[in-house]
Structure 1
């Protein structure tokens, strides 16, 4: 036992000696290195500024790079700001916060002090064709999108001065035209019919029966017109209504042009309940054959009210790409107002034929709504801005805005040369 303890103690002593030797070696090496650095520093005293400056420059560069990368990340993460130059309007035109189906988020501002900080400047038609603080900005960022917005047809502006915004000014357009960069229609079917709960009021067998049961008016059709002059569109639509009435269509006429203003707001449930008592609504626009120009007259006053729209305005080819088949009647299909009146009176007296214009409501909602909701308006604008900030894909600019806005529309939008009324 004693012999075993002696052997174990010897091993411990040998190990301790080994550790002491290794420690002494490292201490000696560290001391020698310190001595070497001192000699080197003394020998290089004359070059100390150069030797120190180089690593400091590298450090500064590294810090600046880190700050830049942080700013780039922050810039991407920070929601884009949209400056709405036209000030306060109804919420449809200036939402404070925009959240999209893709998960993007944007903010809006009406404060002119934020113009230079904003990612997009939205300029309305009333400001675009005259010299002002928006068309002649003192400062404009290279990555700032200038957006033209309008829900009005171009005919009232085709003689205006486009010089302020014509050449290399606008990046994007935001209008009801389907070829706009930001498609901004008055409504789409999904937004018109709402969610599943609201949709039951407008679609389905029960909804159709209820809509048809409300046709109690002594008049066959309802029309509401507030603009009577100023262009070929307003003047000729009044003439067409007169021709329909002379041909035997019973029309309830409302609006400023008839000194018979309807007291309820056009976008109210009370208005829709009233309009729903008519079989037809004369959705006559103030612009004739203006591309894709389909307003609340078709969407709210007609379809959402449960009536059949009779359309005088956008060409039928455009309507076919916007509305469900069999949901409307278009004046372009008839050689004369008299021919159209004969057909409307036939439908008025034939409940079965008339109800066929509600077949689209009887179909499954996913068939009518194409099973998806397309981003439009401010939601689409926000998505585009976020994608732009993420990928830096800024390349669009209008070298001639007038060419797109005026020359690429139909000539009859500005001057009606052929009439059958």
Structure 2
């Protein structure tokens, strides 16, 4: 059993307690104030980092998207990057190649809701920190690929181009593109991992209304459709294209007037008609039609040839209608060469159209139908760098490797090698021959007359056939 403490022990404990320094009330208040000030400072610093808008030190915060509250992230000035912000930093997109020999241009500042979610960099000392590495196809031939050891598992290697395959892979040496190398594609194809197209997204009036978008106005003064030059205006600077569009224009010109301006024109005056650097919109609008055919006829490849002139008071003519299917063009807003069996049939349609003002005006009826282009890079209609940034933040994405990126792009693009135009020309030649024989049925009889010795009668029949043909042309 433990013995009870002695009287001397208790007295010693009492004296020790009395000798301990006592805390004065003023000290308690001061310590409490210090603790409160510390908590307030922590709160201010947190509010400073989590607030909207610019702040000192080159740091700007960004709110998470409405559909997610899992991420707190900061955009940090590239010159003030610090590893302590690694978990809070935006997605980093690294430019391994320049884009048409320049590293300037890529940005997300025009992406509503994404302005602070991604940054672009090309400092190779920071390659390992990148979330995505961007390879611009046309520039890759001059730069090559990075060494395998520089790659990390989290990175997405993205093959990017806005050019058609023929202009993307030009001058590529054998073996430049390694198999199973890229994770994502970023091209004008709607089947790409990241869509990177020209122009915007057409919506019907109903689609725009459901999205809550303000309707566009494409109103046109009816007087602008009168007194048009009855011809197709074509501004062409590439005179030998994969699509063979120049051959298509020559064939059409046999049946309907085509005016070619630019470098491919046949006269000095037409070569200078639209100087480089000018829009030429006023000149183009004088004509009933303008040629918007691409130098490469590929699925989804619709360049500024259409987009920059879609509002003009003239009808665009394109090569293959199917190439524009995903672009969702307003109905009757373009005329396609493959809408017709031959250039001859198309020429007849255009001749009839310029004579029938009501039918011509019908091709502009879409302007009254509420067709609208989705607001630039709004959610659901992101494009290019905005879509890339958005996709990098999407969660639960499966790993993906593209076995052959060149093969994929060429196959999905379904580019025409000129066969379409060649077939049109062959069909046109056959049609012309049949038409000529039908119109000149007397020629066969005349040739028989000449062969049998009735030369005078045969020549008379040929002359009469020519007169009959001219009269038929006048009637058309």
TM interval, short-chain normalised? 0.5 to 0.7
Q: Quick one: higher RCO (CA 8 Å, sep 6+), 1 or 2?
A: 1
Whether 2:127 is the aligned partner of 1:123: answer no
TM-score by structure 2 length?
Answer: 0.60
Q: Is the 8 A contact 1:96 1:109 kept in 2?
A: no
Of 303, 309, 325, 1:295 maps to: 303
Q: 1:216 Cα deviation (Å)?
A: 4.9
Distance 1:397-1:325 versus aligned 2 partners, 3 A rule: same
Q: Give the Cα separation in 1 of the matches to 2:361 and 2:103.
A: 33
Q: How does 1:324-335 map to 2 (within 5 A)?
A: 324-335=330-341
Q: Does the residue aligned with 2:287 lie in a helix, a strand or coil? A: coil
Aligned to 1:47: none
Q: Give the Cα separation in 2 of the matches to 1:152 and 1:393.
A: 27
TM-score by structure 1 length?
Answer: 0.67
Q: Is the 8 A contact 1:135 1:164 kept in 2?
A: no
Distance 1:88-1:112 versus aligned 2 partners, 3 A rule: farther
Of 235, 241, 246, 1:224 maps to: 235
Of 388, 406, 424, 1:420 maps to: 424
> Could you report, residue by residue, the CA deviation over 1:109-134 in whole angstroms, capped at 9, with x for unpaired residues?
35455444332222122233x47343
> Could you report, residue by residue, the CA deviation over 1:174-208 in whole angstroms, capped at 9, with x for unpaired residues?
111110111111112469xxxx99943xx1xxx22
Q: How does 1:169-318 map to 2 (within 5 A)?
A: 169-189=181-201, 199-200=216-217, 203=218, 207-209=219-221, 213=224, 216-229=227-240, 232-233=242-243, 236-247=244-255, 249-258=256-265, 260-261=271-272, 262-265=274-277, 268=279, 271-288=280-297, 290-301=298-309, 303-312=310-319, 315-318=320-323
Q: Is the 8 A contact 2:289 2:315 kept in 1?
A: yes
Q: Give the Cα separation in 2 of the matches to 1:90 and 1:382.
A: 22
Q: Give the Cα separation in 1 of the matches to 2:124 and 2:312.
A: 40
Q: Does the residue aligned with 2:308 lie in a helix, a strand or coil? A: helix
Q: 1:278 Cα deviation (Å)?
A: 2.3
Q: Is the 8 A contact 1:222 1:282 kept in 2?
A: yes
Distance 1:416-1:245 versus aligned 2 partners, 3 A rule: closer
Q: Give the Cα separation in 2 of the matches to 1:101 and 1:175.
A: 22
Q: Does the residue aligned with 2:292 lie in a helix, a strand or coil? A: strand
Q: Is the 8 A contact 2:134 2:157 kept in 1?
A: yes
Query: Gapped runs of 5+ residues in structure 1?
Result: 1-23, 32-69
> Could you report, residue by residue, the CA deviation over 1:46-73 in whole angstroms, capped at 9, with x for unpaired residues?
xxxxxxxxxxxxxxxxxxxxxxxx9999
Q: Is the 8 A contact 2:98 2:139 kept in 1?
A: no
Q: How does 1:61-210 map to 2 (within 5 A)?
A: 74-75=85-86, 77-87=88-98, 94-98=105-109, 100-103=111-114, 105-128=117-140, 130=141, 132-134=143-145, 136=147, 139-156=150-167, 157=169, 160-161=172-173, 163-189=175-201, 199-200=216-217, 203=218, 207-209=219-221
Q: How does 1:346-361 map to 2 (within 5 A)?
A: 346-361=352-367
Aligned to 2:325: 320
Q: Does the residue aligned with 1:398 lie in a helix, a strand or coil? A: coil
Q: 1:307 Cα deviation (Å)?
A: 2.4
Q: Give the Cα separation in 2 of the matches to 1:257 and 1:276.
A: 20
| Number of equivalences | 332
Aligned to 1:401: 405
Distance 1:417-1:363 versus aligned 2 partners, 3 A rule: closer
Q: Is the 8 A contact 2:315 2:335 kept in 1?
A: yes
Q: Give the Cα separation in 1 of the matches to 2:126 and 2:264.
A: 42
Q: Give the Cα separation in 2 of the matches to 1:392 and 1:73.
A: 25
Query: Gapped runs of 5+ residues in structure 2?
Result: 1-9, 18-73, 75-81, 204-212, 426-476
Distance 1:217-1:355 versus aligned 2 partners, 3 A rule: closer
Distance 1:352-1:414 versus aligned 2 partners, 3 A rule: closer
Q: 1:358 Cα deviation (Å)?
A: 1.4
Whether 2:349 is the aligned partner of 1:343: answer yes
Q: Is the 8 A contact 1:151 1:185 kept in 2?
A: yes
Distance 1:116-1:306 versus aligned 2 partners, 3 A rule: farther
Q: Does the residue aligned with 1:220 lie in a helix, a strand or coil? A: strand
Q: Does the residue aligned with 2:348 lie in a helix, a strand or coil? A: helix
Q: Give the Cα separation in 2 of the matches to 1:73 and 1:359.
A: 59
Q: Does the residue aligned with 1:294 lie in a helix, a strand or coil? A: coil
Q: Does the residue aligned with 2:347 lie in a helix, a strand or coil? A: helix
Distance 1:198-1:369 versus aligned 2 partners, 3 A rule: closer
Q: 1:225 Cα deviation (Å)?
A: 1.5
Q: Give the Cα separation in 2 of the matches to 1:311 and 1:402.
A: 26
Q: Does the residue aligned with 1:378 lie in a helix, a strand or coil? A: helix
